[in-house]
Structure 1
Amino acid sequence: MAFIRRVRTKSGATAVQIAEYAAGRQRILKHVGSAHTEAELGVLLARARELLEDPGQGVLELGVDPQPMATGLARPAREASLLDPVPVAPPAVRSSPGRVVGRDSRVLFEALAAVYAQLGFDALEDEVFASLVLARVVEPTSLLDAARVLADLGQEAASYKTMGRVLARAKERGYRDQIATACFEHAVASGDVSLVMYDVTTLYFEAEKEDDLRKVGYSKERRVDPQIVVGLLVDRNGFPLEIGCFEGNKAETSTIVPIIKAFQARHEVADMVVVADAGMLSATNLRQLDEANLRFIVGSRVTKAPIDLASHFRWHGEAFTDGQVIDTTTPRTGRNSDNDVLVRAEPTWDRTEHPGSWRAVWAYSAKRAARDHKTLTLQENRAKAVVAGEKAARTPRFVKKNGGDTVLDEASLARARRLVGLKGYVTNIPATVMPAGEVISSYHDLWQVEASFRMSKTDLKARPLFARKRDAIEAHLTIVFTALAISREIQNRTGLAIRNVVRQLRPLRSATVAINATSQTFPPQIPADKQAILEAIHHGRLTH
């Protein structure tokens, strides 16, 4: 009796053959072909079955319904001989040959969808919103182009109008509040939120006119387009917890308190430390955070060093040792006498004894000093070039006007040279609760929020924005916020940047094969290194 045989060839392909047992040996009756992929193998096996199967035997293994076969004219009956070839039924009549009708990256989509669900975002019960979030993780693009990305991921995209309705639904149903709650629960379950970090950025619009939200404001990139100010709160691992949107001309220092208070109110959190850079250092901010019973660590401006370190400069001059830490006080506003320069020892900050000051921690680094010296030298040379008329530019640092002449500001330059290598931190946490070293290390985790902002701007392309109405803008930020949470979680699990993960997993293409008006999708062969990434995404950190 004839049967189907699969044989591995030297080239690594799989040969599909029809054979029979004759005199105790296998005899090949027909070589159907060689397959190099699972999809090709499926087609060849279906072809081999067509050559063997009787129509009365029912549905084939691959789910292909056999078609009636042409029987031809009957021959006169005679004794069968062992030398006669085994009768093989003629091939079934097919509407078309087996063919690959589609290839997609559904393996990647399913991995991302698993993380989406594990973070609790599927509680929204909105498949269209979920598809837009996952499409942005893979390839950030416009709403109009999202259908193309989803098709490449093996998903049937909703219509453009339906996607537009999702943006309105996101605002109406409070998707961001639900996402933020799920993020908080995940952060608490996987670590803690006793220390959170805050920073702001701007997102610009491809628009000419301003409105109540989109306004021209301060831009580090010196853009003059309308923009909005976005505040982001993350945990110590960079996982997003809260996001807020403000008018484009709003001062950065006035954004931190509303975001923190919204976070507190949503999750009823009372005991936590807020870390922010020197841009948030304002007397009003620190006072409001303190009044809200929040502890803070904020970067200090180096220009405050001469006041805070007046005692050190009096008793020790400008000498510092590498790694030296000075724990002292800093006036909340202006100057005060809490740090008496006539006393050699630095004061230990106490809320009761020093009501007009905050605690200040200053650290000196030889490496930072070398970097600062290099920067100051470049700035000095640029200033001298402007003074000498060799370079026309905006007035650089260390250049001033004196009697109508442009001169080098030698006093400011000398003052800056004196403070190289110093970095200051302002806090309301007593030394008995948090040592100076921990204050410094906590602040250094601030790079995590900066990394999240870079990810949202580059990998997730949160800007430029093309939406006009505030609800659409807020919905866009909600999608970016959700995509950022997924991206950070995948990065934390795998130890790989999200772009790297997408670049490695997207080429794993599933193939859909159509035979006799039916189709079946075959998964790709996954190499060991890619399988390790998938395992890490689903279960934990990638091991190298």
Structure 2
Amino acid sequence: MAFIRRVRTASGATAVQIAEYVRGRQRIVEHVGSAHTEAELGMLLQRARELLENPAQGVLELGVEPTPPVKGLIVPAGPGLFEAAGAVTPAGRDGPGRVVGTDSRILFDALAGVFTALGFDGVGDEVFRGLVIARIVEPTSLLDAGRVLRDLGRLPASYATMKRTLNRAAKGNYRDRIATWCFQHARTSGDISLVLYDVTTLYFEAEKEDELRKVGYSKERRVDPQIVVGLLVGRGGFPLEIGCFEGNKAETATIVPIIKQLQARHNLTDMVVVADAGMLSAGNLRELDEANLRFIVGSRMTKAPTDLASHFRWRGDAFTDGQLIDTITPRTGHTNENSPDLRAEPVWDPPTHPGSWRAVWAYSRKRAVRDATTFTAQENRAREVIEGQKAARVPRFVKTTGGKRSLDDTSLTRARQLAGLKGYVTNIPATVMPAADVIGSYHDLWHVEQSFRMSKTDLRARPMFHRTRDAIEAHLTIVFTALAISRTVPNRTGLAVANVIKQLRPLRSATIAINGTKQRFAPDISTEQQAILDAIHGPKVTH
């Protein structure tokens, strides 16, 4: 039976050997190495134990073959043999132990565990998985992704292979498959009866437009070519669908294709779609209604005077904090079924009001104070422009008559009259959803806004340097997949994904070379860090 043997050498080092008894005598089977310090001795003993557990093992972890043992470990009898009983000839030493590399593979393994838990391993593409995790940890260019992966303890694919992976992701319908797994996860872990939609723009460092990248409306007033991206998420912000449109496409023209894409993929018929006022177009609402989908969208303030005409006539512009007014709003500007001659607001009923949708208006004193402050600032700016004190584009509340600018008192008075009001349009009857629930559902929109902020900042979806549509679509697929993981990690840990990375990335595994072998040592993990790891993938996971 083999056992581990420690022997003092003539040089004062400690030789670690694997030996066995043959006919009552010890026979050296393997010389593991010689240690000059306690740390080296510990490494060699660990290596010897590994060899004993698997005698056939010829290759270490990381694929490094051990240096062949030095021959002649059993010293023949001769002068001085009994002067140092048990001594053996020094086995040789390649210098002191040295660190040859460190990495954050614990962080990679944690995120890879979430990738697997969401079912994304189904694509069967390790390079794609690496690109997704690299984007979560440190968003960078495709060319620099290899550096991030090496820091995470992975051997990255070549740049050419990464580029082929982008093409494979586009041609192999990775996004459709990822979206299917995202929906399955959302269905088993939360409520999918309500979905939230919003759009954003992603710009390019490019001088010329093409069929996809076009100059269009930008909230940041950029003149770079851009694309329009629509994102559909569940009530908690978990991504369900993502779509890419031409940069000059109107936001209102994006919602219906994305919703129909979700419906067709999962055969859905009963769902509430929530979107902001930018999606409020007569055609959008009609199409959603004809598809038997319920919707809740923000209303524009310009509709308030018509929707609340009865209130303003009979009660003036006085509102109480938290007051809700459940009424109707015209589907188009050509029809008005709400008569201000009636004191009571009409209760929306499709057969009775075929030309209207249900409208809910809410008043908040806090919002009124904030709006009043904004209007005052806008009025002051308008006066400065009118008086020539500030050269700027024509701001709000400035009208031009006969080439002369003046303050638009009528618009300013109407805006102040509506301060504190917020409107919502829906096709859900009051008997199905009370007004307060309509407002509460709309307020969940901050989740999709948060997801967009994550994709733009934490995941840095922009600017993009890809040129072809396939590469752009593949980039969005990587961001979409990374977003799903980035939304799951906080749900499991209670911490933002950036905070999780900040705490786990410093956990560096070290690879140390000594005596011709390499050994990897795991880092010391604090209680707080272990709690995060346990929350992500359970306490039984080993590193």
| Structure 1 length-normalised TM | 0.87
Task: Report how far residue 74 of structure 1 moved.
Answer: 3.1
Three-state SS of the structure 1 residue aligned to 2:512 is strand
Structure 2 SS opposite 1:182: helix
Task: Give distance in 2, aligned partners of 1:121 and 1:50.
Answer: 36
**Residues 81-130 of structure 1: CA deviation (Å, up to 9, x unaligned):** xxx98755454213444322110000000000000000000000011111
Alignment check: 8 A CA contact 1:137 1:483 kept: yes
Using the alignment, how far apart are the partners of 1:77 and 1:347 within structure 2? 111
Distance 2:183 2:224 in 1: 34
Match of 1:230 in 2: 229
In 2 relative to 1, CA 337–224 (structure 1 residues): closer, same or farther, beyond 3 Å?
closer
1:67 is aligned to: 70
Task: State the one-letter code of the partner of 1:418.
Answer: Q
- C-alpha displacement at 1:518, in angstroms? 2.5
Tell me the equivalent position of 1:152: 151
Tell whether the 8 Å contact from 1:59 to 1:66 is kept in structure 2 after alignment: no
- Residues 261-410 of structure 1: matches in 2 within 5 Å? 261-334=260-333, 336-410=335-409
Aligned to 2:471: 472
Aligned equivalent of 1:162: 161
What is the aligned partner in structure 1 of residue 22 from structure 2?
A: none
Aligned match of 2:130: 131
Q: Which residue of 1 aligns with 2:255?
A: 256
The 3 A distance-change label for structure 1 pair 358 and 60 is closer
Query: What is the distance in 2 between the residues matched to 1:77 and 1:486?
Result: 66
TM-superposed CA distance for 1:286, in Å, is 0.3
Summarize deviations over 1:26-61 as a string: whole Å, max 9, x none.
Answer: xxxxx9656xxxxxx4x342468999xxxxxx9999
| Distance in 1, Cα, partners of 2:538 & 2:190 | 17
Following TM superposition, by how much is the alpha carbon of 1:496 offset from its aligned partner in structure 2, in angstroms? Answer: 1.6
| Distance across 2 between alignment mates of 1:223 and 1:454 | 18
2:445 alignment counterpart: 446
Cα shift at 1:352: 0.9
Q: Which runs of 5+ in 2 are unaligned?
A: 7-12, 16-34, 49-54, 61-65
Shift of 1:17: 10
* Pair 1:461-2:460 in alignment: yes
1:203 aligns with 2:202: yes
Measure how far apart 1:192 and its partner are.
2.1
When residues 17 and 275 of structure 1 are mapped into structure 2, their CA distance, relative to the original with a 3 A threshold, is farther
1:186-242 per-residue CA deviation (whole Å, 9 max, x = no partner) reads: 000101210000000001111101111110100111110111000000001100000
Deviations 1:316-365 (A, max 9, x none): 11111111111110000115442221111111101111110000000001
Counterpart amino acid of residue 148 in structure 2? V
- The SS at the match of 2:376 is helix
- Taking a change above 3 Å as real, the CA distance of residues 3 and 60 of structure 1, as seen in their structure-2 partners, is farther
Deviation at 1:497? Answer: 1.6
Indicate whether 1:413 and 2:417 are aligned.
no
Change (3 A) 1:93 1:389: same
Using the aligned pairs only, state the percent identity.
67
Aligned residue for 1:383, secondary structure, equals helix
After superposition, the C-alpha distances for 1:369-424 in whole angstroms (9 at most, x for unaligned) are 11111111111111111111111111111111123221111111111000000000
Which region of structure 1 is more displaced relative to structure 2, 88-97 or 527-536?
88-97
| Pair 1:45-2:42 in alignment | yes
> In 1, Cα distance between the equivalents of 2:246 and 2:182?
25
For residue 187 of structure 2, give the secondary structure of its aligned residue in structure 1. helix
Q: 2:357 is paired with a residue of what secondary structure?
A: strand
Task: State the superposition RMSD in angstroms.
Answer: 2.6
50 and 480 in structure 1: CA distance in 2 versus 1, 3 angstrom threshold: closer
Partner of 2:189: 190
Structure-2 separation of matches of 1:436 and 1:539: 42
**CA distance, structure 2, for counterparts of residue 474 and residue 291 of structure 1:** 30
Map Cα deviations across residues 446-492 of structure 1 (whole Å, 9 max, x no partner). 00000000100001111111111111111111111111111111122
Q: Residue type matched to 1:74 in 2? A: G
The residue type equivalent to 1:281 in the other structure is: L
Match of 2:202, SS state, is strand
Q: Secondary structure at the match of 2:406?
A: strand
Q: What is the SS of the residue equivalent to 2:396?
A: coil
Question: 2-side partners of 1:308 and 1:163: how far apart?
Answer: 55
Query: Alpha-carbon deviation of 1:67?
Result: 3.2
Distance between the aligned counterparts of 1:460 and 1:132, measured in 2?
A: 12
- What count of residue pairs does the alignment treat as equivalent? 499
Structure 1: segments with no counterpart, 5+ residues: 5-15, 19-30, 35-40, 52-57, 79-83
Counterpart secondary structure, 1:196: strand
* In structure 1, C-alpha distance between the alignment counterparts of 2:348 and 2:284, rounded to whole Å: 20
Mapped to 2, the partners of 1:198 and 1:275 lie a distance apart of: 6
Say if 1:388 and 1:117 are closer, same or farther in 2 by CA, change over 3 A.
Answer: same
Residue 500 (structure 1) aligned with residue 493 (structure 2) = no
Distance 1:532 1:131 in 2: 25
Distance change (3 Å), C-alpha of 1:99 and 1:432: same
Distance in 1 separating the partners of 2:226 and 2:277: 22
Q: Secondary structure at the match of 1:263?
A: helix
In structure 1, C-alpha distance between the alignment counterparts of 2:347 and 2:535, rounded to whole Å: 47
Residues 1:62 and 1:97: Cα distance change in structure 2 (over 3 Å): farther
- SS across alignment from 1:519: strand
Q: Which amino acid aligns with 1:353?
A: T
CA distance in 2, matches of 1:156, 1:432: 60
- 3-state secondary structure, aligned to 2:520: strand
Q: CA 1:158/1:337 → structure 2, altered by over 3 Å: closer, same or farther?
A: closer
Measure the CA separation in 2 of the matches of 1:532 and 1:95.
Answer: 40
Secondary structure (helix, strand or coil) at the match of 1:330 reads: strand
Residues 333 and 60 from structure 1, CA distance in 2 versus in 1: closer, same or farther, beyond 3 angstroms?
A: closer
Report what 2:436 is aligned to. 437
Give the whole-Å Cα distance in 2 for the aligned partners of 1:479 and 1:421.
Answer: 41
Would you say the 8 A contact 1:278–1:301 is kept in 2? Answer: yes
Q: Which amino acid aligns with 2:431?
A: T
Instruction: Quote the residue 1:515 is aligned against.
Output: 514
For residue 223 of structure 1, what is the amino acid of its counterpart? R
Amino acid aligned to 1:94: R
Give, as a single letter, the amino acid of the residue that structure 2 aligns with 1:222.
Answer: R
Query: Conserved in 2, the CA contact under 8 Å of 1:67 and 1:94?
Result: no
| 1:513 CA displacement | 1.7
- 3-state DSSP of counterpart to 1:323: coil
Change (3 A) 1:306 1:17: farther
Q: Paired residue for 2:26?
A: none
Q: 1:99 to 1:304 in 2, by over 3 A?
A: same
Indicate conservation of the 8 Å contact 1:199/1:277, yes or no.
yes
Please give the alpha-carbon distance, in whole angstroms, between the structure 2 residues aligned to 1:264 and 1:404.
Answer: 52
Quote the Cα distance in structure 2 between the aligned partners of 1:148 and 1:286. Answer: 48
User: Could you tell me how far apart the structure 1 residues matched to 2:80 and 2:429 are?
Assistant: 107
